[in-house]
Every structure is written in C-alpha cells, then in structure tokens.
Amino acid sequence: MEPDLWQLYKHMYRSRLFEQVVQAIWEQGLISGEMHIGFGEEAIAAGIVCQLKEGDAMALDHRGTPPLLMRGIEPTLLLREFLGRPDGLCGGMGGHMHLFSSEHLSASSGIVGSSGPAGAGFALAAQHLRPGTLAIAFFGEGATNQGMLLESMNLAVAWQLPLIFVCKDDQWSITTRSASVTGGQLVERAKGFGLHAVEVDGTDVEAVWRSAGEAMERARDGGGPTFLLAHCVHIEGHFLGFTLFRAGRDPIKEMVPLIGPLLRSATKWKGGSSQEKMRSLTDIATRARDALQEQTLKEKDPLVRARQKLISDRDRLEALETEVSREIQDVKEAALKD
C-alpha cells in the first residue's frame, strides 16, 4: 500500500505544533526539568506509527511525544502530565520521559537503551499472546553502545521476535560526536547479530513508510526482527536550552559570561599545557558551530520536505494546517485551565 502523504503530513504537523506549545510553556517555567523535543524526528514517527495495528506495542526513549501523539494518546493528557498535574496521563508522576499507556501498549523511559529490553518483552508477548502483532523499539544511536540494547538484539534474533529496532541517528550523542565513541558501522553491527538491517533517510516520511512497511510485513509473517537505521536531525539539539545551540546562535550573549572563567582556567599553571587548553577551547567553539549548522538546515527538516510536495494544492494544505492549529490551541487552553 502506498503512503498517504496528506495524512502523514497532518500527523507530523500536529506533532510539531503540539511540541511548539510545550516549548513555549517550558520556556515560561511552567514545566520543570529537562525537555527533550522531537523536532526533526516527525517523519520517522509518522512513517512507522501510522502503520501500526491494534495489538502492536511501542517501547520509547526520552523523546517519545511524537509517537505517542500519533498512536492516539489524548494530547491534553500529555500536556497536563508534562505540567505535573494529577489529571495527566500518569498522574503527573512521569513527566515527559517516563510515560505509560496500557490501552496503547506504549511505554517510554529516560534510561538510555532501555527501549531494547522493553521492546523485546513486548515482542515476546506478541509472539505468544497476539500472533500477527509486533513491537517497535525507538532509540538514538548513542544507545547502541549500551549492553542491554545489544543483548536485546541478540535475543530478538535467537527467538525470532516480531520486533523492529528503530535507531534515530543524528550523529550526536548529546555534545559528543557519535562517531568518536562508536566503533564500526551500525548497520554492519546489526547484521553481525543476524538482524535484517536497513538504512533510510529519516527526514523523508515516504521513504521511512516503505522501509518500515517491509520490516513490519516480515515481522508479522514470522520473519523475525529488523534493525532500521534512520538518519535525522534534532532541530533544537539534545534538549531545550541546549548549550551548544545557545552558544552558536548568540555567541556574544552566551560566551561573554564565560570568557573570564575560561581565561583564568587557561592561564593557570596547573593542569594541561597551554596548547592542550587552547585545543579544548577551540573544540568547544567548533562543536557549537558544527552542531548548529548540521541540525538546523531547512532542507533537513522533515516537515519542510513533506510540505514542499503538497504545496501545489495550496488551498487544501492551508485548510489542513488551519484545522490542526485550531485543535492544538484548544488543547493548550484546556490543559492550562485550572
């Protein structure tokens, strides 16, 4: 079945607007703690989640809002949860990272790599209790060095579980280049376990749809697990208020308060040599520049790419966006109501 780009874009646009509301409320100080936004991952979520059927399960990481929205979780419940309200999805106790819905067979966790064993458990249950159903495990490429995720891949192959490992690769593990801490190629690593492995452009929702659809068909037919490496971007960095992005966007404002401490540290005789200290300062500046340049390119924004394909029918597109905008505004008002 060919993807319906209009429906996929609607889910992506709805997720983006909802998280923009979350961002605004977080910046007002009404949501406590870190906030990991899914800007840039919408095509991966839509291309996969929109193909799930009743009885399928999702194991999510700390960036689970887009998949949960697209799976059908009531957005007002999510927003109230983020606000710590007792009438939120998890009674205000889970925040945005630790969410659970038994109705939707979906659970998220802030523990890096934990979606692997959770997904394997969901898939094992599907195999024995709901034949023909499957599980999805979402995680970032930084999690691929976690032992529990690798052990889950091994068991998934050994037991031929109906599980799809979805690796969302933006090439950054928070502020560290992923390639600098990861040996080899992830697709080849997955194949080493005997996994069927596929690489896809995670900013192209139609490409994700087709690759995920093939993996799902294999899983439902008893063909075992798949490793799907989807390349993407994180438009707001690892979390809202991301240090490297702040420094890259407004270096004067962000760096002026740090110049004094950095210079004092660089000129102290203790520690490394002056050359080593200068290399460290240069590395910080380079990382800020590279992260901002790579993650915020418009041509890598999945919504921009999808919208460009629909722009020829401008009236329909604007009507869709107006409808979604009104819904999300109503969600915001309802969630903030006392």
Q: DSSP character for 93?
A: S
Collapsing DSSP states into helix, strand and coil, what is residue 268? coil
Q: Give the global pTM.
A: 0.90
Q: Which residue has 């999808």 as its token pair? A: 306
Write the CA distances from 34 to 26, 89, 110, 123, 152, integer angstroms.
9, 18, 11, 30, 28
Per-residue pLDDT of the chain (338 residues; tens, 9 = 90+): 789 999 999 999 999 999 999 999 999 999 999 999 999 999 999 999 999 999 999 999 999 999 999 999 999 999 999 999 999 999 999 999 999 999 999 999 999 999 999 999 999 999 999 999 999 999 999 999 999 999 999 999 999 999 999 999 999 898 888 999 999 999 999 999 999 999 999 999 999 999 999 999 999 999 999 999 999 999 888 888 877 777 667 666 666 676 667 667 767 767 667 677 667 667 766 766 666 666 666 678 999 999 999 999 999 999 999 999 999 999 999 999 87
The parent domain of residue 275 ranges over: 243-295
Whether residue 250 sits in one domain with residue 220: no
Retrieve residue 316's tokens.
């329909």
Helix boundaries (H) for the chain: 5-27, 42-49, 65-71, 75-82, 115-129, 147-158, 186-192, 205-220, 243-249, 251-267, 274-295, 302-310, 314-336
Burial of 254 (0-12, 13-18, 19+ CB in 10 A): middle
Whether residue 67 sits in one domain with residue 98: yes
Query: Residue 131 maps to which CATH number?
Result: 3.40.50.970
The Cα–Cα gap between 120 and 189 comes to 18
Whether residue 180 sits in one domain with residue 71: yes
Number of domains forming the structure of the chain? 2
Q: Which amino acid is at 146?
A: Q
Q: How many CB atoms lie within 10 A of CB 299?
A: 9
Whether residue 255 sits in one domain with residue 134: no
Whether residue 212 sits in one domain with residue 81: yes
Collapsing DSSP states into helix, strand and coil, what is residue 193? coil
